[in-house]
Amino acid sequence: MSRTPTNRCVALIAELSAYVDQELPPAERRALEAHVRSCGCCGTLARRLEAVAAWCRESAAPQMPADVRRRARARVAALLAGHACHDTRS
């Protein structure tokens, strides 16, 4: 199994994300799949891209901390209270 990138590897690298996302047309996908299976470089890179995509889906965006949520609720409450006062005055 090849460990050194060839010119073909470098030419195909731009397509690897589309391959990982299964967005390539069938013929292109088959051709790239055959290369990825026989090429250690591209096979490894494709698996890393898959792992990175999975990490992004699961963990890239942090959850809102409780104190931030409390402040946001207080802000919305203050806005609503201001609106109520405005309505009353009008």
Partner 1 sequence: MRAQDVAYRFGMTVCGHQEDAEDVMQDALMRTYQRATSIREPQAFRAWLYRTVRNACLMKRRTRVDEPRHMVSLDAGFEGDGSHPIDTADPSRGPEEVVLNNRLRQRLREALGSLPPAYRAVVFLREVEGLSTREVATVLRISEANVKQRLHRARLALQQVLGAGR
Which residues of this protein are in contact with partner 1, per CB under 8 A? Answer: 1, 3-5, 9-10, 13-14, 16-18, 20, 23, 40-41, 43-45, 47-53, 55-57, 59-65, 68-69, 71-72, 75-76, 79, 83
Q: Which helix (H) or strand (E) holds 64?
A: none
Query: Taking the complex as a whole, how short is the minimal distance between the CB of residue 85 and partner 1, in angstroms?
Result: 14
Which of 26, 58 has the CB closer to partner 1? 58
Reduced to 3 states (helix: H, G, I; strand: E, B; else coil), residue 29 is: helix
- Nearest residue (CB) to partner 1, 34 versus 76: 76
CA dihedral 49, 50, 52, 56 (to 10 degrees): 130
Helices (H) and strands (E) in the chain, counts: 5, 0
